[in-house]
């Protein structure tokens, strides 16, 4: 994928879902690192995930620039950042919380259609704030449940933006080239210290639902193996 020439690189701010994001610029060296590392990162993923990322390259780059601005415009160094530099990777469970506890896995028990179950939050009626060290760029869901995932609808609240519930029922169809349970959702940018809350609804069952996308944050945080042990 080519980074040079993407429209996001020339912007100083963007708006999504009524939220305004200020963008920090990426110099030529950072653009070269992002292009090289982005392609290496995607080389190991399912073709459906690769397609989602490639189709949203401009928005993803804007998200990286927005998180860089929030992280005091530190240097972007891709998959090999120093402790105080900015890096990227795939989202792991430990970058999220349920009931204000860092998630050790992606498991969630769904209790049935027309019932909204808590997933990512700090309490029954409140989201949790990301730490100051990283942000998230969310692009899709992946279910590890076979043969048929249980999730059907997702409701995101990011800060003051209460988004409409999103129908993800077609994740159960595996309606893509490889027939895998990957389903794209509208891209969401969650900045460091932003509040995130997600609720799910679906068929009764033990769902294992991965939040797809990228974590963008300081190397000292995203390089940590045991995120559950961190106090954030």
CATH of the domain at 141: 2.60.120
- The predicted-structure confidence for 35-88, as pLDDT tens digits, reads as follows 998 888 877 666 888 889 999 999 999 999 999 999 999 999 999 999 999 999
Domain-embedded: residue 223: no
Q: Considering the chain, what is the average pLDDT of its residues?
A: 93
Write the CB contacts of 45 (distance below 8 Å, at least 6 apart in sequence).
Answer: 53
Verify that 95 and 31 share a domain, yes or no: no
pLDDT in the model for residue 4: 81
Verify that 109 and 171 share a domain, yes or no: yes
Is the per-residue pLDDT at 5 higher than 60?
yes
Is the per-residue pLDDT at 229 higher than 60?
no
Q: What is the total residue count of the chain?
A: 232
Domain-embedded: residue 222: no
In percent, the amount of the chain with pLDDT more than 70 equals 97
pLDDT in the model for residue 103: 94
Average pLDDT (105-113) is 96
pLDDT in the model for residue 44: 64
Verify that 26 and 107 share a domain, yes or no: no
Verify that 31 and 63 share a domain, yes or no: yes
Average pLDDT (90-107) is 95
Domain-embedded: residue 111: yes
**How many structural domains is the chain composed of?**
2
Verify that 97 and 177 share a domain, yes or no: yes
Beta pairing, strands 134-143 & 182-190: antiparallel
The H-or-E segment that residue 29 falls in is helix 28-42
pTM of the predicted structure, to 2 decimals: 0.94
Lowest mean pLDDT among 16-20, 38-42, 108-112, 220-224: 38-42
Among residues 43, 64, 16, 4, the alpha carbon closest in space to that of 213 is found at 64
Give the SS3 label for residue 111.
coil
Give the range of the structural domain holding residue 22, as residue numbers without chain letter: 7-88
- The predicted-structure confidence for 196-211, as pLDDT tens digits, reads as follows 999 999 999 999 999 9
Write the CB contacts of 28 (distance below 8 Å, at least 6 apart in sequence).
Answer: none
Q: Given pLDDT bands bounded at 50, 70 and 90, which one contains residue 176? A: confident
């Amino acid at each position: 994928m080519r980074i040079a020439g993407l429209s996001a690189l020339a912007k100083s701010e963007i708006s999504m879902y009524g939220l305004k994001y200020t963008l920090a610029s990426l110099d030529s060296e950072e653009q070269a690192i992002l292009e090289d590392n982005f392609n290496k990162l995607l080389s190991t993923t399912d073709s459906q995930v690769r397609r989602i990322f490639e189709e949203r390259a401009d928005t993803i780059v804007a998200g990286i620039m927005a998180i860089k601005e929030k992280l005091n415009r530190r240097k972007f160094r891709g998959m090999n950042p120093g402790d105080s530099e900015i890096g990227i990777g795939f989202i792991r469970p430990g970058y999220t919380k349920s009931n204000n506890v860092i998630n050790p896995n992606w498991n969630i028990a769904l209790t049935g259609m027309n019932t909204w179950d808590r997933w990512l939050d700090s309490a029954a009626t409140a989201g949790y704030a990301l730490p100051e060290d990283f942000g998230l760029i969310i692009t899709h869901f992946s279910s590890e449940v076979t043969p048929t995932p249980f999730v059907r609808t997702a409701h995101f609240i990011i800060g003051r933006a209460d988004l409409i519930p999103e129908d993800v029922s077609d994740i159960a169809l595996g309606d893509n080239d490889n027939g895998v349970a990957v389903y794209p959702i509208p891209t969401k940018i969650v900045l460091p210290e932003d509040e995130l809350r997600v609720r799910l609804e679906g068929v009764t069952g033990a769902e294992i639902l991965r939040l797809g996308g990228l974590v963008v944050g300081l190397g000292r945080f995203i390089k940590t193996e045991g995120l559950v042990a961190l106090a954030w």
